[in-house]
Structure 1
Amino acid sequence: MEADELRIGTAEREEAARLLADHFGMGRITPDEYETRVTDAYAATTLGGLRPLFRDLPPPHPGFFGPAPPYAQPTMQLPMYAPPVANPYAPPPTPYAPPMPYAPVPYSYRSKTVAGVLQIVLPFGVGRFYTGQVGLGLLQLFVVLVTGIGFLWPMIDGVMLLKDGGLDAQGRPLRP
């Protein structure tokens, strides 16, 4: 049996169509020729039906045609697409700069003075309710109601708020 009489399958037809698309993309065949050749490739049933489609084209040819003649084999495989080249006009890369140690932090809209005074004047966690720390405020309220001397904790907390400030429920520092 001759090689051209061997039947081909879908994989061979698709490889031929893909290679024809490559040749079309390189400008070797016109759009009309491409359409005609791809239609013929999908209609082919034997190797002999595909060979004429590549006869006037340089490699690459389908691999199932067998090895190319020695005069048609390239001496070096060239990439189809060139590797990316760095932009010569781009600015040079900057070394990593650590963040500023004193980056500006957004302040809360609540005041540390108001929170401290509320803690001292109403010593059952009202200042912590004001800052949005409801859990701490409820704990201070519970300690004051259950124990008689629990009011010392909210008062000391109020003095600390006046002296050092604190954080609101979102973790932002209280406004001075």
Structure 2
Amino acid sequence: MSSAPERPDSFRTGTAEREDAVRLLGEHYAEGRLTGEEYETRVSAAYAAENRAGLRPLFDDLPAPRPACLQPPPEPFYPQPYQPYAQPVPYFEQPMSDKSKVTAGVLQLVFPFGVGRFYTGDAGTGVAQLLVTIFTCGLGAIWSWIDGIILLANGGTDSTGRRLQG
């Protein structure tokens, strides 16, 4: 017991490896790859094998599956070098609208029936605010005022989805 074996085939086999080899020989026999006489010969050789080199010739002429101990060792895992994520596109480099958020917000506050939304090209919301203001006898203007404050504070988008200019 002076040093460890240099080759994996010289490693001694255990009971679990022998039983795995016998089980796989049984699968090959069940699929018709081995005759009854070949199967018995190989099973007795598998139980008599002292190391992996004794198991290897039993599977040389057979296709997969093979015992796990006869499989090549897995490739070692080498971590990839650090690669940072792609840098995000800065907010100001996105295309801006030719419309102004200040103009849209002021129009919403001064004319509280959707004029600011018509200015930005959002006709659907503009028509909805106009109809709500008319049908509620002016109480629906609260929606337009709140929308105007939001446009002034956060901006918004025009009909093409571009951010309004500051």
In the superposition, the TM-score normalised over structure 2's length comes to 0.46
Which structure has the highest strand share of the two? Answer: 2
